[in-house]
Amino acid sequence: MSVSHTDQQLALMDTPPQNSLAQSVVSQAQDLTISWRPVFEDNDVQGSLKLLNHWLDQRKKTGAIIYPSHPFKALELIAPEDVKVVILGQDPYHGPEQAQGLSFSVPDTVRCPPSLRNIFKELAREYPDQNDQPSSDLTRWATQGVLLLNTSLTVENAKAGSHAGKGWEPITDAVIAHLFKFETPKVFMLWGAHAQAKQKLIDSSTKHGPVLSLASNHPSPLSATKPPVPFIGNGHFRLANEWLESWNQTPIDW
């Protein structure tokens, strides 16, 4: 049986990657700011999180390496009342030192993933006068009001989608629903079928402020230039900023 390059890397490591999960997700949720607390005080969310925490512990006992170290990083960097843009991903990157707890983002110390390269390609198309080399670490977006949220917040090494359907979805749905309690105008960027499946949740939520949904294909090379709505050429970054400015909001410096 062949051994993958990632498995060979891990075999050579004396310790797990720095971005692997160590602290329990229950305790990490308890450390979030007071603005996010109502999400995790809900009885259903508490139950889901406890069951998920037990399952994650069992997986780690079998030797599974789980990423990232801080699944709630997106919530740690921004308060719900400050969220102006939501970019939904599916699950974290599944290689060592990649996942940061922010959808599509990786540290600059690792190679820029293909989907993020296409995001930067679209940004360069929309803003051709910006010549700075973009950082693959999207923390700068989060600190301006962009919630970079995956629908599953953990994943196992070399196993994309391995934690989908394991209990994260009701928790991240509750996070999304919580945003609508605040009047801040919000843009949802729904790239691909998985993210667009959240449109029903967006439509059915009671809103206390204006909301705009922008949909296109996912930035993955498999779909970025294909119909029905190619990601490359969607114009979402400019559209989001123009809409925010129409509501007297500071635009995002992408």
* Mean pLDDT value of segment 108-122: 97
- Decide which of 1 and 10 is more confident: 10
Q: Any idea of the CA torsion for 51, 54, 56, 59, to the nearest 10 degrees? A: -130
Other CB atoms closer than 10 Å to residue 88's CB: what's the count? 23
Q: How far is CA 103 from CA 87, 113, 129, in A?
A: 7, 12, 26
At residue 205 the predicted structure's pLDDT band, cuts being 50, 70 and 90, is very high
Residues 6+ apart with CB under 8 A from 12: none
Q: How far is CA 52 from CA 49, 149, 177, 235, 254, in A?
A: 5, 18, 20, 37, 34
* Mean pLDDT value of segment 117-124: 97
| Residue 2 confidence (pLDDT) | 44
* Mean pLDDT value of segment 117-129: 96
Tell me what the pLDDT averaged over the chain comes to: 94
| Residue 14 confidence (pLDDT) | 61
| Residue 116 confidence (pLDDT) | 98
Do 124 and 145 touch, CB atoms closer than 8 A?
A: no
Tens of pLDDT, residues 128-146? 998 777 999 999 999 999 9
| Residue 133 confidence (pLDDT) | 77
Q: Which long-range contacts (CB under 8 A, 24 or more apart) does 32-39 make?
A: 32/72, 32/75, 32/76, 33/76, 33/79, 35/79, 35/80, 35/81, 36/75, 36/79, 36/80, 36/175, 36/178, 38/178, 39/171, 39/174, 39/175, 39/178
Using alpha carbons, select from 234, 146, 231, 152 the residue that is nearest to residue 192: 231
Tokens of 83: 């969220």
| Residue 1 confidence (pLDDT) | 42
Distance CA 88, CA 90 (A): 7
- Residue 238 dihedral angles phi and psi, to the nearest 5°: -70, -40
Tens of pLDDT, residues 17-50? 999 999 999 999 999 999 999 999 999 999 999 9
| Residue 130 confidence (pLDDT) | 84
Tens of pLDDT, residues 152-169? 999 999 999 999 999 999
| Residue 110 confidence (pLDDT) | 96
Other CB atoms closer than 10 Å to residue 109's CB: what's the count? 9
The residues carrying an active-site annotation are: 91
Distance CA 17, CA 66 (A): 9
Statement: residue 189 has pLDDT above 50: yes
